[in-house]
Every structure is written in C-alpha cells, then in structure tokens.
Amino acid sequence: MDTLTPDEFLKQLIETREAFWEQMNAERKSYGAEKPLSPAVVLRRLQFGVVMERKAAEVTAPWVGKIPDIDLEQPMSEYVVNELKHASILRQRITELNGDPDALWNQPLKALKDLWDFHASLGSLCELIASVQFGHEEFFPRTSKSFIERVAPIDSKTAAIYRDTLLADEEGHEWIAPEILRRYASDGATQRKCLEALQKGCELFGKAIQSFNRSMPA
C-alpha cells in the first residue's frame, strides 16, 4: 500500500477496528453475553481477566527494550507492570471467592490460546501495538462498564476493582499506542502489516470472546 500520513493511517485503523466492534457487539448480545450475572459467571469472568492481563504483559515485554525513544519506552514499561498488577489483583479476588485463579491460564480455551499465540508470533512492535493495545484492548473499557453495572448489585468489591483500578489504569495509558504507530509505522509496508495484524487480531479476539461466553456456567 502507498504510505499514508499518520492521521490517514490511524483513521484507517480506527475505521477497521470500529467496524469489527459493531459486528462483535451485535453478536455477543445475540447469544446472551449481557445476561444477568451469577457468582459462578463472575468468577469465570475474573479468570478470563487474569489470562488477558497476564498475556498482554507477556507478549509486550520483549519489545519494550527495543523502543527507540525513552519517552515511549518508559510508559510502555509501566504498562507491562500495570497489566501484571491487574492479573495479581484479579487472582487475589478469585482466591477470596474460593475459586482457582489459574483455571483458564492452565487450561485455556483453544480460541483464547490461538489469539495470544498469534500476538506472540508478530514480527514487529508496531504490528503488536496495532493488534493488541490499539486493537482489541480498546474494547475493554466498553465491556467493563457494562460488567461493572451488572456485577455491582451482587459483588461490590469486584465492581470497585474494575472501576477504580483496571479502568482507571487503562485510561492512563490509552495515548501510548497511537503515538507509537504515528512515530514508527512510517512506511507503506509497515502500515500494511499493522492493518493486517489488526484485522487478524480482531478476528481471533471475536472468536475467543464467543468461545468464552458460550463456555459460561448456566
């Protein structure tokens, strides 16, 4: 593809991501992803969160030291620490609820494993950022706000964890991904690979979410 300006490139990525969100959101509502929560479903959601937070840190960490500019290397290192902190907080809450913190980590759903294996296989920082931090992580605040509203009446502590820690931290680093892509995805070949990574990542994320929601306890 021809080299786009940074604004044109980000606009194309956003349009691709948001088109996927519209499709995924309609599908998840159609099979009951917004149904009332039970304690067993809350526990499963927390176990899913452990995998997502820990894996995001795991696939991102190897790239942090390769970021050329320290004004981006430093906040990305904080991002990795925050993701691990979130995983630890969720594990502690699962333990408090008498669950297994590593149930999905030790026995992942195939679709969830496929998602993170794909992220781990990407060949550049920009591709990873496009697929994870600029890609499906952008959906986390949207689904979490709904989760908080539904979980608060039955588990106020879990609601507070999502509202006051996980969401608050996400809002603190949302500027990093677009800035990395603006700065380093500066040629047509890199931009094409980023777009392809975003598309594939969103596709696999959708399959993982669908598989996870359909595995929920009745």
Residue 25 falls inside a structural domain: no
Residue 187 falls inside a structural domain: yes
Q: Is the pLDDT of residue 115 over 90?
A: yes
Q: What is the mean pLDDT of residues 2-24?
A: 95
Residue 29 falls inside a structural domain: no
Residue 32 falls inside a structural domain: no
Q: What is the mean pLDDT of residues 95-102?
A: 97
Q: Is the pLDDT of residue 69 over 90?
A: yes
Tokens for 61? 């960490």
pLDDT above 90 coverage of the chain, percent: 81
Nearest to 126 by CA among 53, 198, 65, 204: 198
Q: Convert the pLDDT of each residue in 165-215 to its tens digit.
A: 999 888 878 899 999 999 999 999 999 999 999 999 999 999 999 898 888
pLDDT at 31: 47
Backbone angles phi, psi at 202, to 5 degrees: -65, -40
Please say whether the beta carbons of 178 and 134 come within 8 A: yes
Domain count, the chain: 1
Residue 23 falls inside a structural domain: no
Average pLDDT, the chain: 93
Domain with 143 in it = 6-17+37-213
Residue 58 falls inside a structural domain: yes
Amino acid sitting at position 205: F
pLDDT at 218: 66
Please say whether the beta carbons of 186 and 85 come within 8 A: no
Residue 146 falls inside a structural domain: yes
The CATH number given to whatever domain includes residue 83 is: 1.20.910.10
Please say whether the beta carbons of 180 and 129 come within 8 A: yes
Of residues 192 and 29, more confidence is placed in 192
Residue 49 falls inside a structural domain: yes
Q: What is the mean pLDDT of residues 93-110?
A: 96
| Residue found under tokens 């997502």 | 52
